[in-house]
Structure 1
Amino acid sequence: MNQLILEKLQEIEEQFQVKILYAVESGSRAWGFPSKDSDYDVRFIYVHRPDWYLSIDPQGIGEKRDVIEMPINDLLDISGWEITKALRLFRKSNPPLLEWLKSEIVYYEKYSFIENMKNLESDIFYPNASLHHYLNMAKSNYQSHLQGTTVKIKKYFYALRPVLACKWIEENQSIPPIDFDELLEAMVPEGELKKEILLLLDRKKAGVEIDLEEKISAIHDFLEVEIVRLEAYVRTLTEKPEDSTGKLNELFRDTLEEVWE
């Protein structure tokens, strides 16, 4: 699969006349709890030639799209963000983008862009933005899939992971790890809750078909309590981020020069 992904990335560079700076796996494979039939979600950041940016129409408007989407088949989906779109989202501490930077499944990386981006993480990270994102994700999955006498039990992970990410941010004021095992180890003490989560995780990784089952009380109660508590915590936050536009403009221009010389 890795070779196919690299071939598709090369095709994208040739078709769209861009350079790909970074390509990683996202979603359940990157989070550490894929099922045996999980697809591959490849995400990348790319840059156009300088002339593409030197026009009266800004990128993202009209024909100057700032995304490339190439769904290949049911098993492989590839899409990417243009560099200025990525940097604008980075300025807002966009959690999906921050997860790309934390992904341990890196298919391709070239030039110094990602290293320079990561060097700015601590200056740019805005906890409030990530907290709101993960809390909304947890609430949505909890309310949509985890109500009733039986629940879509594998959906527990899609509520657990964002709740644990919120707890990490609350405690450390830093970008949470992308790997679920690492979050679990750091944020859940030994006991019944952790035991139930590990049992469910083993089943999912083993490819056991897990869908509608009775609620797992320890996990369900934990989510219910933590979502309410985190909602109250988020309402107390007022800090605003510093404007990082100057640093990101410099990174963009330096990258254009490095890539296209």
Structure 2
Amino acid sequence: MKEHIIEVLQQMEREYDVKVLYACESGSRAWGFSSMDSDYDVRFLYIHTKEWYLSIDHRRDVLEVPSKDSLSIPVHPLLDMSGWELTKALRLYRKSNPPFFEWLHSDLVYYEKYSTLEKLLAIEQKVFSPVTCLYHYVSMAKRNFRTYLLEEEVHHKKYFTVLRPILAGKWIILNHTFPPIKFEVLVKELVPVGPERQSIEELIAHKKARKEHSFQLEPPILVLNDYLQQEIEYMERMTKNMKASENDTSTPLLNEIFRELLEKAWQ
């Protein structure tokens, strides 16, 4: 699949007159609990020509293949690709956008040019805000818990949509750094040996062994529901004690990265 992903990225460059800078896996395959037929959720950064940036008009700053942007070559049905134009990505990086941080920390990198990842990670501590990321993960956990796990019957794979942000948020509270992407690393570090951890490990094993459409409605896992409710309440209390820094020292560095990559991509 990696060869096909690179082929699609290169075809995208030709048809949309852009240069791809970085591409990685961002979904369940990156997190380490993909099913047998999980999609490939490829996320990428790209940069336009110099002329594109010398315009008074704002233009579309995302590419989504094949859902909204077509190519002249076939795209594998399991392939979902979504990319951000570089200045959009850098503005979100400055705001400590957690999904973008997850892209940069992915263990499955498909494509990179011009040392883009190295340049971005070199200033990570200038842009990382524990408070911003924690609020993101707390909100995600609360929303998904209410939406998916409080019925008489639930899809067990939805537990991951609450467990992952819970553990990511807990890592931030304890370490004040961005959490590892691998879910099993978070479980090992943050969930003590006991009934909750056993239930989580069983969920992981079942998720990996089944196809996506094979998951049926089942009674909720009460030990996990209790655990998640307690952790959400704990994280909400902790967010009240954390304050965001208002000092922005990253903008000149981000501008420098943009100009350098623009020059290298089109020299």
TM-score bracket relative to the smaller structure = over 0.9
Residue type at the aligned position of 1:237: M
Structure-2 separation of matches of 1:49 and 1:148? 51
Residue type at the aligned position of 1:256: L
TM-score, normalization by structure 2: 0.92
1:171 and 2:174 aligned: yes
Structure 1 residues without counterparts, runs of 5 or longer: none
Partner residue in 2 for 1:152: 155
Q: Partner of 1:33: helix, strand, or coil?
A: coil
Contact 1:124 1:242 in 2 (8 A): no
Contact 2:19 2:48 in 1 (8 A): yes
Aligned CA-pair RMSD: 1.3
Partner residue in 1 for 2:139: 136
Structure-2 separation of matches of 1:222 and 1:88? 36
Q: Partner of 2:110: helix, strand, or coil?
A: strand
Partner residue in 2 for 1:205: 208
- Specify which of 238, 241, 244 is matched with residue 233 of structure 1: 238
Partner residue in 1 for 2:119: 116
**What are the within-5 Å matches in structure 2 for residues 1-261 of structure 1?**
1-57=1-57, 61=58, 64-71=59-66, 72=75, 74-207=77-210, 209-243=214-248, 244-261=250-267
Q: Which moved more, 1:48-57 or 1:88-97?
A: 48-57
Residue type at the aligned position of 1:148: E
Structure-1 separation of matches of 2:228 and 2:199? 13
Aligned pairs, number: 256
The alpha carbon displacement at 1:137 in A equals 1.1
In the TM superposition, what whole-angstrom CA distance separates every residue of 1:88-146 from its partner, at most 9, and x where no partner exists?
00001111110000111111011122111001111210111111111111111110110
Structure-2 separation of matches of 1:91 and 1:129? 11
Structure-2 separation of matches of 1:35 and 1:242? 43
Contact 1:68 1:81 in 2 (8 A): yes
Residue type at the aligned position of 1:11: Q
Residue type at the aligned position of 2:39: D
The alpha carbon displacement at 1:55 in A equals 2.2
The alpha carbon displacement at 1:210 in A equals 3.4
Contact 2:153 2:220 in 1 (8 A): yes
Residue type at the aligned position of 2:26: S
Q: Partner of 2:205: helix, strand, or coil?
A: helix
